[in-house]
Structure 1
């Protein structure tokens, strides 16, 4: 279950804490045989058993209520997770296992470490009466112990041997991360109490005499966790500490950002490339289908971006032929314009400026923060980061017998990645025969039906198809550190294909593409053979 807000999280906690867990002997924790002796192995097995009990029926539930999707690395649905259990972390010759590691599912940056303890474990400092979690008496000895000189044998008073081991464990975990990549939160809990380190970089890395104990929040009981549910949600909910946001509904924008900070927007598309199984026994190849949903890319004066949509429907299928394609482009344009009007109404803004594709690509700082084409997975780890070479072939999701991958395209002032311009309709290289006659036909032959490999949605003879081999070779050129300056701004990392939409369509005529002006401005893409290209 996901919590849309802190109120829902509070109700979720109440349900979780009221639920009676099953008997411990029915549970079987993950097998770990790393104990040095039989006696220690037996003790560790018992300890892990109790910790697993706390995790399975309390901690997992709390994390799910905070919108952390738990998955194991070999699960069939592991692409949906943003937190993984039992993660090995190597540091020099030592391998430690993190009970949980939460990460940003768009950038894979570590966000959260959760260390689980057995239900019988107690906090080291007991205080009577109601305790303010932000001023718990154990916070000071925690901070002092973590910053002590490791050569100094002195230990702050009030800490049991057990808790010194716990804190040393956390410090050992943090040593496996570079300071600039430190998780944003570290938590140690057993389901009854919870300790939250709000600034691990300060607590574990910064060169200060004593870390700020105000950055250590301690909830001593379930009642305390429940009473402070809003604060727990603010500190630990996935969307509160992740570096990027998912797609948001247009009606939510005003609640997420200050409307006065929004300075411009651009049209965009959520494009799904689907690979369908053969429809009959006479067909033996997968065939592609493209679906699109118009979105807006909203920009703030802080350099941040937000993807905004008005519908989470499957999207509109892109037709391939002239009159149907014209009608499709018109419908998508109307939907996009309506979305922009809805956004302006929700934000009480008139005529929010639109940023053109060319202007966006020319602003390198803005382009790096929001590339022109990025993979999109509404629940997975791949969204919002640069593309790898041929990555779409390895990052398919599956629905029934259909494989698919999705992208977010920045289309600027235009509402579709397909552009209709009749000035290039007479180019002979829309057909394989013309290219073959000039000795420039693609080696894989004419494409008479929609193809997945190579990716060609528009077939031979279509005004949106290009059959020229030189253009195909230029599109698939690898962008490398050595030639990136001659490639201009590209959405891919090193070794990715030059063509911005290579993962969707490899034979689209350049004049039919929204990115043609930024691509043809690059020196490596100069000299195209199209006779009508200006």
Structure 2
């Protein structure tokens, strides 16, 4: 949609929301377990549920699983703090919008002791400078509640900037009755605060000033989201050759539960070769050339041995074509970077990961770096006896060997196959660290490209593989 369409949708949604709020506030009793109080206003949880959540949705933000808003986002500084909402970029997980919600009846901006200022924004500027000068809360020019709010936001902005190296574009403090927007929070709280960088709205102004709110807070005003995946011809819309920090092979993994419900269903794994192109600001763009998959499976060679080589060669050939197509679009050369240089996918907070869950179940993006696949043709350790359940003795997993592919536990490779692990001790120790656990919980670590990322050198040396 273009800006006019998005703006119109926002105005319509905001109007509907304000009408719904009026109806809710008119109810004399919303809590059946207390006495009727017609003057009662929602507390913070209700304010968030009834108003803030809905306002963010109308502003183009997605809450909940698979969304681009983190709720109660953890921020580690001198103490652990939790930010009410943080809107983030899809590509890098960088913060775009900080929202601190307050209970409905919390007071609007007011000077302490009847002080006089040219505007509410000028009062806020004076209060922020008071905080930056290290002066006590009790002598702030602003009311005690607002001194606390400003100190809270100041701490968040400073920690994001100094501790996480993020430049936050917007910060908001909101109740149901008022909205305060900091249009440049880093400059306001850490540089030079100016009244014209602070926008203040009351509920009665929300509808008339809807376009201003849209321009400040709508997601489309703060970032341009890239679709997942991009086609090679789309990549130059988001990145140019000079801004590329690295290109990384990988795959999109689609896991299926195949077969009739009347019988035992079996796993089927489809792989789509992908290229993850990283921009110098940490954003990662996913490029997939076409929707043709490569099914994961062994092929039996002339000697009657199961081998993964034909599958890997098919993925490798398509990955090379994809890399060449992206390089041609960017009009330069792209050389696959090592996995250790991958900046990471957003991972539910400020953390980054090598594997990204997609909104649909059993769908992942898997970065593999200079390798084209997360699996090797064969394990690093040759002739390891722990591929066989019978050879594991007292260390054998479960009560019997996994002789057919299984959904529970997730086991694509089966007993005695060289990509299968049957050692219970290894399986126990890899729990919580294996990056492909959801795809196959029994893959041999020595046959996976993530070995060095999941285990330290000392831990790798202590593995029983090959002993």
1:459 Cα offset (Å): 0.8
Partner secondary structure for residue 419 of structure 2: coil
Q: Give the number of equivalent residue pairs.
A: 429
Separation of aligned partners in 2, 1:60 and 1:501: 34
Matched, 1:69 2:59: no
Are the aligned partners of 1:249 and 1:309 in contact in 2 as well (CA < 8 Å)? Answer: yes
Distance 1:177 1:429, change over 3 A: closer
Matched, 1:450 2:447: no
Q: Which aligned pairs between 1:134-533 and structure 2 lie closer than 5 A?
A: 138-148=120-130, 150-152=137-139, 167-168=146-147, 170-171=149-150, 174=153, 179-181=158-160, 185-188=170-173, 195-200=180-185, 203=188, 206=190, 211-218=193-200, 222=207, 224-226=209-211, 229-230=214-215, 232-233=217-218, 237=222, 239=223, 247-250=228-231, 251-273=233-255, 279-280=261-262, 283=264, 287-300=266-279, 302=280, 304-310=282-288, 317-322=295-300, 328-349=311-332, 351-356=333-338, 360-361=339-340, 366=341, 369-370=343-344, 381=348, 385=352, 404-421=361-378, 430-433=387-390, 435=391, 441-442=396-397, 444-467=399-422, 469=423, 473-474=425-426, 476-477=428-429, 496-497=432-433, 499-510=434-445, 512-515=447-450, 522-526=457-461
Separation of aligned partners in 2, 1:22 and 1:333: 55
Distance 1:476 1:142, change over 3 A: same
Match of 1:25 in 2: 23
1:113 is aligned, of 89, 96, 99, to 99
Uncovered stretches (5+) of structure 1, i.e. residues with no partner = 71-77, 90-96, 125-135, 156-163, 479-494
Are the aligned partners of 2:28 and 2:38 in contact in 1 as well (CA < 8 Å)? Answer: no
TM-score, normalised on structure 1?
0.60
Partner secondary structure for residue 352 of structure 2: coil
Uncovered stretches (5+) of structure 2, i.e. residues with no partner = 75-81, 111-117, 162-167, 302-306
Distance 1:512 1:143, change over 3 A: same
Partner secondary structure for residue 125 of structure 2: helix
Distance 1:530 1:279, change over 3 A: same
Partner secondary structure for residue 101 of structure 1: strand
Separation of aligned partners in 2, 1:344 and 1:16: 43
Cα RMSD over matched residues? 5.5
